[in-house]
Amino acid sequence: MKKSIQILGMFILIILIASCKKMVDKDFSISPYETKINKWIDAKIPVNESGKIYEEQLKSGLDYTRMREEASFDSEKILIIPIKENFLEFRKAEEGCSGNLVVLIDKKDEIRRMNIVLFKPETSAQTSKLPDNTFYHLYNTSKVPVDGQFHFLDVNGRLEYQLSYHDKKLVSRGVVTPLSENEYNSMKQNIGKVKTNGVFATTNSQNTTIQKKSNSCFIHGYLIVEMYDASTGQWVVVGMIFIYSGCPEEVQVPQSELHAGGAIKFSGPDGSQWNLGAQYEYAVNRELTWTAYSLPYGYISSTETVYGKKVNGIADGGYFTGATHGSSQSTDGTATWTETTWHHVPSYNILYLYLYGNISNSSGTTQIQEERSFSFSGLFP
């Protein structure tokens, strides 16, 4: 009997060990995306000694145990992998910032975009921890649920663009843009200086090592900062922050800040080929009120919220993703308006809006069927 109990005990112990091993294997298994992410990083970081050190630090700084997934437009998904403090310290990120590697996965389950994203809250009293679905809103609705500034870096740690949000609205944006001396001199005459929150230490001409070769090839890279003017619905350039300088053969940017590092190669001496514009993508929205029909003593108008995505390098600067209807109304006190149908069709960079209803006055009832189209660049300059 005693021997049977011992055998039973050993059997239970073996089962427990096997179960624990399965739990450990599950808890510490490699993410199915980790191999794809590592291959992407390998292809982007320069093959030299400093690049090797940086790559090792970046890969070891990714916390896959806290990786989460969020939905996105057109059956895509967003992977958010928290970045550990040791990497942020290694790259001298400002205290109070949080960092994530944000990876956009297309409907074929392949990586199509990857950024290191740092977030700095608007005030020190706010947490830098981002709530769930923050990046869903950043890429799809523009109704971001935190106040503060996001800095988007490529995997080499170079700043590409920044976005600032307040009260679930995009209020400021900045894109790193290459400018010739003539372009810079022309632009700087019309703008003032902009005060940043210090997430990145800005550079100046003394930081660079490449000397000016000629006026024809020398360029500057600036973070061009714009703020949204709600009264006009327009973006206004308020300042430029120097990031790098050099000639198209090679531009060397300082290694000391998180947004800098490495050489930026150009395709050739022709200015049209200096393709160093930032690779940006983010959601936009706005309220749109349009006149659908004119009446003897007023008009019928309709108000919608329109959604889209700003993306560099595509026609019209982006595309529509949808619209939601608010209401329609008549300003003619002598007529009664009754809406029957509203619908919309987003066709890439053209949005079609349709409003149907009946207008009644002393002369009788008239059926209204109106259609309007809007371009993406017209609504989202």
pLDDT in tens, 113-151: 999 999 999 988 788 889 999 999 999 999 999 999 999
Average pLDDT over residues 77-89: 94
Average pLDDT over residues 206-230: 59
- Asked if pLDDT for residue 224 goes beyond 60, the answer is yes
Question: What integer pLDDT is reported at residue 229 of this predicted model?
Answer: 86
Average pLDDT over residues 192-204: 35
Coil, helix or strand for 2?
A: helix
Question: What integer pLDDT is reported at residue 190 of this predicted model?
Answer: 63
Q: Helices 49-60 & 34-44, crossing angle to 10 degrees? A: 160
Q: Could you give the CA distance from residue 218 to residue 220 in angstroms, rounded to a whole number? A: 7
Question: What integer pLDDT is reported at residue 163 of this predicted model?
Answer: 96
pLDDT band at 24 (very low <50, low <70, confident <90, very high): very low
- Asked if pLDDT for residue 237 goes beyond 50, the answer is yes
User: Who's near 360: CB < 8 A, 6+ residues apart?
Assistant: 335, 336, 338, 366
The total number of residues written for the chain in this structure = 381
What DSSP assignment string belongs to 52-76?
HHHHHHHHHTB-GGG-EEEE-GGG-
pLDDT in tens, 315-327: 899 999 999 999 9
Question: What integer pLDDT is reported at residue 219 of this predicted model?
Answer: 63
- DSSP 8-state secondary structure symbol assigned to residue 270: S
Of 135 and 197, more confident: 135
Coil, helix or strand for 310?
A: strand
- For the chain, which residues make up each domain, given as ranges? 34-279, 284-379
pLDDT in tens, 173-185: 999 887 777 777 7
The number of helix segments (H) and strand segments (E) in the chain equals 7, 17
Average pLDDT over residues 332-347: 94
- Asked if pLDDT for residue 198 goes beyond 50, the answer is no
Q: Could you give the CA distance from residue 250 to residue 265 in angstroms, rounded to a whole number? A: 5
- Choose the weakest-confidence range: 45-59, 274-288, 334-348, 360-374: 274-288
From residue 89, give the alpha-carbon distance in Å to each of 83, 96, 103.
11, 11, 22
- Asked if pLDDT for residue 28 goes beyond 60, the answer is no
Question: What integer pLDDT is reported at residue 367 of this predicted model?
Answer: 95
Q: Could you give the CA distance from residue 171 to residue 174 in angstroms, rounded to a whole number? A: 11
Angle of CA points 359, 361, 363, to nearest 5°: 110
pLDDT in tens, 269-304: 233 233 345 689 999 999 999 999 999 899 999 999
